[in-house]
C-alpha cells in the first residue's frame, strides 16, 4: 500500500462512528549526518541542528528515509492544505484564511493510533481507485492540525 492510497479513505472511531476522511499525511524526514568537512559542516551546521528546517541543510543527499507520523482527518474531503497549515503563514491574504476555514474541524491522528486498515465495504470492489477504511484505536488523541 502506498501512502497515497490513504488519501480520501474513510476514518472510523473505535465504536464505528464516522469521523471523516484522510485529507493529508504527516511525514518525518531523517536527516543524514554529512562527513566532516563536507558541505554544511562547521558552525552553521552545528547551529542548525537536526531539528532545523530541511532547507537549513545545503545538500539534497542529506535527507534519508521518511516515516509516516500521522494522518490529517477532516470532516469532508477538502484536499490538501497546500502548505497553509503552518500557523505563521499569513499571505497572500485571503488564501490562508480561506484554506483554514475550509479545513476547520480537521485534526491530526498519530499513526500509532490507527488500529486497522481494511477494505471499505461501502466502496465498489471492482473500482481501480477503491479506498481503504481506517479504524482508530480506543483512547486515540485528536491533535491540532496546524504546524507551528
Single pTM value for the model: 0.67
Closest C-alpha to 135, from 17, 51, 11 = 11
Helices assigned H by DSSP within the chain: 43-48, 95-102
Bridge partner list, 147:
86
Three cell numbers at 89? 503563514
**How does residue 43 score in pLDDT terms, banded at 50, 70 and 90?**
very low
What end-to-end distance do the CA atoms of the chain give, in Å?
Answer: 30
**pLDDT for 81-90, tens place per residue?**
655 565 565 5
Which numeric CATH code is attached to 3-32+65-144? 2.30.30.240
CA atoms within 13 A on the CB side of 15: 3
Between 84 and 144, the more confident residue is: 144
Between 110 and 50, the more confident residue is: 110
Tell whether the model's pLDDT for residue 24 goes beyond 80.
yes
The conformation of residue 37, written as its DSSP 8-state character, comes to T
Amino acid at each position: 500500500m502506498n501512502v497515497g492510497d490513504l488519501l480520501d479513505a474513510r476514518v472510523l472511531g473505535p465504536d464505528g462512528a464516522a469521523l471523516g476522511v484522510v485529507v493529508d499525511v504527516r511525514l518525518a524526514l531523517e536527516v543524514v549526518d554529512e562527513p566532516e568537512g563536507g558541505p554544511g559542516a562547521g558552525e552553521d551546521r552545528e547551529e542548525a541542528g537536526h531539528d532545523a528546517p530541511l532547507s537549513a541543510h545545503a545538500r539534497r543527499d542529506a535527507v534519508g528515509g521518511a516515516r509516516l507520523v500521522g494522518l490529517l482527518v477532516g470532516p469532508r474531503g477538502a484536499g490538501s492544505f497546500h502548505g497553509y497549515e503552518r500557523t505563521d503563514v499569513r499571505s497572500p491574504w485571503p488564501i490562508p484564511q480561506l484554506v483554514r476555514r475550509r479545513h476547520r474541524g480537521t485534526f491530526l491522528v498519530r499513526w500509532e493510533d490507527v488500529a486497522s486498515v481494511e477494505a471499505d465495504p461501502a466502496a465498489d470492489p471492482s473500482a481501480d481507485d477503491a479506498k481503504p477504511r481506517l479504524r482508530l484505536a480506543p483512547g486515540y488523541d485528536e491533535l491540532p492540525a496546524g504546524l507551528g
